[in-house]
Structure 1
C-alpha cells in the first residue's frame, strides 16, 4: 500500500502564509499539540518550538507523518459517510488548526446546507482557525473545552448553530488521547451523547500503543509531557468504551487505514483505531 501524498501548505486567500515564528515569553514558547500535528501534515501554521518537538517525535517514530495523513483520511471518510446518510450538523471538538480537506469542505461538497462548529480549547489554535476560515459559510469556530461539556453545549455560538433535537455528528478525532483518565473523558463523551438526538453519530479516532515497543513509547510520551497536553494512548478495549450507547457501523472499531476505504490514496500506517457509532 502507498501513503497519501504530502500536502502543500494551507492557503488563506490568494497567497500562501509563511511559517510562523515564535515570540519569546508568549504562549508560543511551549510546544502545542495542534501545531505539532499541523507540522506532521506538512502545514506551515507552527512555530519553531513546535517543529523542534515534532522532530523529536519523528526521530522516535519516523512514520508519524504518514500516520497523521492516515488519520486525516479517516476523518474525511467518516464525515462523508455521515453526510451521505443525512446528517447536516457537525460538531468538531478538538479541531485544532484547519488544514486541507476540512470538515466543512468535505460535508458541504455532499450537502451545501450543512453546518459545522469547530471547537478547540487552545486560544492560539482558535485565533488561527478564525483567521484561516474567514467568512466560510455556515461555519463557526468556538473556544471551548471537551472536559466541560455542559459549558460547551451552552455556548451561544453552539446553540445558534446546532439544533440538538436533530441528528448531529460529534467528532472526537485525535483528541481524547490528550485527556487523562483523571479528567474523566468517558463522562464527557457520555454527556455529549446524552445531549444529542437518536440517530446522531460519534466519529472517533484515538492513538494506541498496542504493539509498540515499550521504550520508544515512553520516549514519545516524554516529548508530549513538555507540550500543551500530555499524551494518553489507550488500548483498543479502552477506546471501545467511548462508544457505550452507540451502535458501531461496519467494520466497527478498526485500524484507521482499514475503516471503510473508498478509493482515495491509502496509507498503510495506522497509529490508532477509529470508528463511527450511531446513537440508539
Structure 2
C-alpha cells in the first residue's frame, strides 16, 4: 500500500487506515479485524483513551502484540474520565495530558505512542500549556509526534501558528467539503497533514448510501436537505462499476488532495473492512471525475465551530 509522509516527520502512514472506535468490545472479533487490516498493508491504527473509556486502547494493545514494529499507533487525550463511569470533562491541562499519556501506554502495553493528539479543544483553552505538555512528552521519547483532532478553524490556526503539530484530524468527505475552503491550503503551506475521518459520510457514500441517507439525513446533513443528500447518493452510484466500488470512490475523493495523509475509516466487521479495502484494487480517480464529483456536491464552509 502507498504511504504518505506526515509533515516533515519520519512517520509514513498508509493511505487508508483503521479508526478503532467502531471495533466494539469483543476482543477476539476486534483482533481479527485488526489482523486483516495489517495483513492488507494498513500500518496506522487510530484510537483514543475515551473510546469505551479505555477499553478500546486495551483491545488495540492486545491485538498488536508481536506486531508493534509493523505499525504506527495514534491515540488522543483531553477528556478526563473515571473508568466505569459514563461521563467525562474536558481537560487540556499539562498535568492531565502527561498523566493521560502514561495511562494510555499502560493500557496498550507499549513504551511510546507514534502520534499523540489533543482530542478536541476550544480557543479558550490554555493552548500554550497544552503545547508545552506535548513538546515535553516528545523530548522524553514517550511520543514521536503530536497533532490535534479538531474541526474548529480558529483553534487549528492557533496550533499552526504556535506549535509543531504534524497533523490535524478532521471530518472530510465529498459531502463535507468544509476543509477545502479554509484549512487544506493553510496546512499544506505549513507542512501539516490531514487525517481525514468520516470519509464515507456516515455510510452515505457507501454502496448502501441511499438507504443510509434515509436514516442519517432525516433532518438534513450540514447545509444539505435530505432531498439533496438522497439525490447525491443516487448520482454517486453513476461513478461506480466493476472497477471501483462506492467506498473506494469516497476514499479516493479525500485522498485526491495531497495534504491528506490518510483516510481513516471505521469497521465493525470483517465485511465492512473488506468493502473499504476495495480501494486497493480500484481504478485511479481522474482529475475530470474529481471535478465532476465536486459539481455534484457543494463547496460548503464552516458556519459554526469558530471558537
TM-score bin, normalised by smaller chain: 0.3 to 0.5
Structure of higher CA gyration radius: 2
Relative to the length of structure 2, the TM-score reads 0.31
